[in-house]
């Protein structure tokens, strides 16, 4: 029987795989010349399909890990220290998401570009963490079965009713909030339906918490994941069509015509199955560390590729202009470079943060000195003016 720490190894390796696939996906999609984007080309079609698996896996794993840690221990409700940590983490991801889209050159001209308001993966994961915390708190004083049922129910509702809400108009909202609900302005992700993958990851983590100590948990989990994945990929569309025809419910017909959410959920099941099968050979320290450093890798890749803060990224100079024989090795180098820099940062994170704190403290002390000088100067000028007009004695 494996211990609880070991059971999380395969999750870290999934997360490592997902972030690496995200890096190459962003690089190739952003730089590949459109003339080579041929869906009839087998290599490109396979790459495109597997690229579409990355985000569902990443959201699911994020929800899995956070919920797994959230319910750890016997303390429940607001007294659970993971609640406060989770709230800080969610807000931190939102802040980082906006900072990465900040252009300081634009700020110097007194302008905030529209791209600053766009919603990306960090924003959605941040809100997903806050959403899972909210569901956890709602059920913390109730039957312990309520949370998994609520998480699973949330996934099903968001996925089934996606055709009903995806075309809703939110233009009456400020753009800052509108972009969380629609892709009309260019947002990459929206809270709905992507929150559904995070809640499903939370549901899976509770199953592992409940049955993780059973002797045959992995054989059962692997077979179940393969079966569920295969059913969702190959039969879920026909199932929704059957429901629609049998009960004359239009929403299920709408799901049938664009059943990407459940099919991608099937892909997630198969990815989980593969990594669970290979869990005993995927305990390389570097691979596990990559899985634990996804935020650093994401930030570094965003700065290099999209030019956060300055706008001077690879994407600006080579957007949709690179042939395959250059973009493929370039993607490999990009993956290696971002990962290397992130791991180096993680090794020196404490020292770097300490140095940054020292610099900020020094800058603040200088600012205080400048303010003190300005205040004294203002006082002196004020006194002299009062003397000049005879309202103050010398």
For 318-329, what is each residue's pLDDT tens digit?
999 999 999 999
Return the bridge partners of 322, or none. Answer: 32
Cα distance between residue 218 and residue 90, in whole Å: 31
For 35-70, what is each residue's pLDDT tens digit?
999 999 999 999 999 999 999 999 999 999 999 999
Range with the lowest mean pLDDT among 71-80, 129-138, 147-156?
A: 71-80
Q: Is residue 6 pLDDT above 50, yes or no?
A: no
> Predicted confidence band at 393 (pLDDT cuts at 50, 70, 90)?
low
Q: Is residue 237 pLDDT above 60, yes or no?
A: yes
> Predicted confidence band at 386 (pLDDT cuts at 50, 70, 90)?
low
Mapped onto helix, strand or coil, the DSSP state of residue 205 is helix
Top-confidence residue, 184 or 196:
196
The average pLDDT across 105-122 equals 84
Residues constituting the chain: 394
Per-residue model confidence (pLDDT) at position 108: 75
For 260-311, what is each residue's pLDDT tens digit?
999 999 999 999 999 999 888 888 888 889 999 999 999 999 999 999 888 8
Q: Closest Cα to residue 137, out of 200, 89, 75?
A: 75
Backbone angles phi, psi at 149, to 5 degrees: -65, -40
For 93-111, what is each residue's pLDDT tens digit?
999 999 999 888 777 777 7
> Predicted confidence band at 3 (pLDDT cuts at 50, 70, 90)?
very low
Per-residue model confidence (pLDDT) at position 125: 96
HSE-up (13 A, CA, CB side) for residue 113: 18
Q: Is residue 374 pLDDT above 90, yes or no?
A: no
Mapped onto helix, strand or coil, the DSSP state of residue 153 is helix
pTM value? 0.88
């Amino acid at each position: 029987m494996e211990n609880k720490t070991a059971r999380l190894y395969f999750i870290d390796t999934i997360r490592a795989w997902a972030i690496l696939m995200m890096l190459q996906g962003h690089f190739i999609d952003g730089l590949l010349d459109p003339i080579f984007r041929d869906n009839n080309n087998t290599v490109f079609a396979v790459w495109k399909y597997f690229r579409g698996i990355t985000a569902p896996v990443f959201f699911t794993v994020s929800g899995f890990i956070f919920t797994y840690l959230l319910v750890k221990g016997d303390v429940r409700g607001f007294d659970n220290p993971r609640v406060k940590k989770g709230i800080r983490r969610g807000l931190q991801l939102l802040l980082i998401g906006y900072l990465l889209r900040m252009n300081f050159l634009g700020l110097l001209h007194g302008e905030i570009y529209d791209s600053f308001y766009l919603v990306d993966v960090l924003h959605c994961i941040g809100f997903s963490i806050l959403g899972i915390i909210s569901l956890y708190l709602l059920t913390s004083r109730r039957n312990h079965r309520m949370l998994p049922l609520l998480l699973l129910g949330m996934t099903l509702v968001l996925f089934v009713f996606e055709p009903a809400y995806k075309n809703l108009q939110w233009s009456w909202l400020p753009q800052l909030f509108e972009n969380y609900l629609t892709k009309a302005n260019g947002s990459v992700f929206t809270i709905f339906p992507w929150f559904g993958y995070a809640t499903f990851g939370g549901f899976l983590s509770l199953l592992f918490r409940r049955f993780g100590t059973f002797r045959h948990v992995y054989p059962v989990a692997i077979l179940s994941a393969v079966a569920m994945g295969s059913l969702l990929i190959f039969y879920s569309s026909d199932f929704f069509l059957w429901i629609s025809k049998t009960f004359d419910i239009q929403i299920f017909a709408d799901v049938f015509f664009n059943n990407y959410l459940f099919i991608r959920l099937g892909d997630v099941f198969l990815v989980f199955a593969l990594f669970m099968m290979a869990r005993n050979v995927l305990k390389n320290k570097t691979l596990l560390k990559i899985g634990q450093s996804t935020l650093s890798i994401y930030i570094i890749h965003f700065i290099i590729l999209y030019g956060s803060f300055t706008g001077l990224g690879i994407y600006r100079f080579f957007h949709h202009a690179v042939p395959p024989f250059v973009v493929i090795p370039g993607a490999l180098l990009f993956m290696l470079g971002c990962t290397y820099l992130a791991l180096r940062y993680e090794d020196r994170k404490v020292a770097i943060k300490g140095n940054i704190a020292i610099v900020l403290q020094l800058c603040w002390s200088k600012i205080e000195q400048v303010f003190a000088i300005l205040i004294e100067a203002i006082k002196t000028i004020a006194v002299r003016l009062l003397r000049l007009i005879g309202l103050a004695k010398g």
